[in-house]
Each structure stands twice: as C-alpha cells, then as structure tokens.
C-alpha cells in the first residue's frame, strides 16, 4: 500500500509540468486524483481539455490509484465549488488540495501594465483562495461533526516570492502573498484538523523554460536536477497522513534538495528609549545594516 492509499487529492494546473508530476506520484501511492486544468496558455488564454485528459489516461492505464479530469476555472468562485463537489461525489471524500495553477506576465516594473498586474494577482491569489476556501468549508463541517478530516492544503509560492526576481514584479508579489497566506491558514485551521504548507519548487516547466532557459537546460547531466518528478515525492508526503504534525512551513525543493525556509524574523535592533531625531536615524540604521545577516540577492541581479 502507498502512503496516500484511499486519500482524495485535487491538483490544480495538473495537465503538465509540476502538476502532472504530482498527479502521477499521488496516484502511484494509491490516491484518488482530480486532475484540474483548463488547458490555458502561459498567458492564461484559450481552453483545451486534452492536457488533463492525457494525465488521467496515463494514471488509469497504469492501474495505480484512480483519476478523473476536471476543467473548472480556479479563479471562479462557483466553478471551484463544483470542483470540490466533483471530488467528493466521485470518490466519497476529499483530503488534499494542491494549489498549483498559475500564469506569468514577465515584464520590467517600468513597463508593467495594470491588466498584466491584475491578471497575475487574479490567477495566483484568487486562484489559491477559491478552491481551498470551499474545501475548508467541507472539512470544517466534518470536524464539527466529530469526523477527523486529517486534511492538507499545499500551496505554491516561489523563490521569486521569497527573494524577488528581476522582470517579475507581479509574479513575485503574488507568490510572496501566497507564502503569507499559508502562515495564516496554518494558524487558523489547525483546530479543524487541517494543515497548510507551501512549496517553492525549482523544476523544468513551461514557465521556467521561458524565464530561466539556461538554468533549466540539464541535458547530458547524470542526474536531471530540473525534472519535475524530483519535486513530487515531498509533495506526496505532505499530502499523506504522515505529515499531520507539519504545518505553517515553506519548503524549497530542487533536484534532491529539500530546504526548510527560515522565514521573516526579528533581526538586530536598537532602542533609544525616546523619540528619535531624524538627523540621528541614519547612524542607527547603518549600525543595524552592519549587524544583519546579508539577504539573498534578488534573482537576476
């Protein structure tokens, strides 16, 4: 038996890349998988059901786990209610939501447009909210009825959201918001038997091949560090019953590396015990900057 035997998982954006790798890995560990993907372009345009259908066919042909396709838009409140209902109707329960769907609108900040900004926030932030919010309603009801939901929210942030990335102001902002959302979900939802964690995966996908072509090219290497399948085992474990004591964490995953992010925390400080004179603030800040742990550089600098 796999570590997710009988558990039901919704994975958004599961038609390709990381989402596809997650779906196959969950199914291999005995999970029931709802493969959600609208089949849009990187820019969020168009619709094509074949991507989700192909993943489902691969799972069902392998005979490990069970899978159904779903084509609902994760930014649509009513559609995501139908997505959650479809999982429960088909498999009788829901245990895990993996928020993976996303788009990119790469642009230097001075050239960014309002429409690009709004589209990025809509898919990443609203998209992370809608499916999880409906799932939480279901799990909260189970908890109040005395049935332990033992549930998981697994969000997708990014190195861009944790340290910033040149030409990705909107994407970095949205992904940083997802990391903060994860902390709040973990703090609020534990009482209902729900954990919330986030991933910052580095792997070869349509998005990363476009933004970081040189880094993603690992042809000829003994170990394909950028294979999306490398990220999947940690995601599957987070979705299993074995991870019930892990919540409020952000993991960076790349190749064979699992890194736990340390997060924002208080650094060096100075307290005058009285109001500062503006002319004296500069010296105090210089002292603090000299004492701090140097931050990671913004990607691309």
Q: Point out the residues that are catalytic.
A: 158, 171, 175
Strands ordered across the beta sheet of 194-202? 66-70, 32-36, 8-12, 96-98, 151-156, 194-202, 250-254, 257-260
What CA–CA distances, in Å, run from 48 to 103, 104, 188, 234, 295? 15, 18, 37, 29, 42
What CA–CA distances, in Å, run from 26 to 34, 66, 96, 125, 224? 10, 10, 11, 24, 21
95, 152 contact by CB (below 8 A): yes
Angle between helices 232-239 and 17-28 (to 10 degrees): 60
Both tokens assigned to 10: 């919704």
């Amino acid at each position: 038996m796999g570590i997710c035997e009988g558990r039901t998982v919704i994975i958004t954006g599961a038609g390709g890349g990381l989402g596809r790798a997650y779906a196959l890995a969950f199914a291999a560990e005995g999970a029931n998988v709802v493969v959600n993907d609208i089949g849009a372009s990187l820019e969020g345009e168009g619709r094509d059901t074949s991507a989700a259908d192909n993943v489902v066919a691969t799972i069902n042909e392998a005979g490990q786990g069970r899978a159904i396709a779903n084509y609902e838009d994760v930014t649509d409140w009513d559609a995501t209610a139908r997505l959650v209902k479809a999982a429960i109707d088909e498999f009788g329960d829901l245990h895990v939501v993996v928020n993976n769907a996303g788009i990119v609108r790469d642009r230097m900040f001075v050239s960014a447009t309002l429409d690009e900004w709004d589209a990025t926030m809509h898919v990443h932030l609203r998209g992370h909210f809608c499916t999880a919010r409906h799932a939480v309603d279901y799990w909260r009801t189970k908890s109040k009825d005395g049935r332990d939901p033992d549930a998981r929210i697994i969000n997708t942030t990014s190195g861009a959201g944790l340290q910033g990335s040149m030409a990705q102001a909107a994407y970095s902002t949205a992904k940083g918001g997802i990391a903060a959302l994860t902390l709040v979900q973990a703090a609020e939802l534990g009482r209902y038997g729900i954990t919330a964690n986030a991933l910052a995966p580095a792997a070869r996908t349509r998005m990363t091949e476009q933004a970081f072509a040189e880094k993603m090219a690992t042809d000829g290497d003994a170990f394909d560090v950028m294979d999306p399948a490398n990220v999947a085992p940690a995601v599957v474990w987070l979705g299993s019953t074995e991870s019930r004591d892990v919540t409020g964490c952000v993991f960076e995953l790349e190749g064979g590396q699992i890194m736990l992010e340390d997060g924002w925390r208080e650094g060096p400080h100075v307290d005058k015990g009285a109001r500062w004179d503006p002319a004296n603030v500069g010296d105090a800040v210089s002292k603090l900057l000299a004492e701090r742990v140097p931050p990671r550089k913004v990607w691309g600098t």
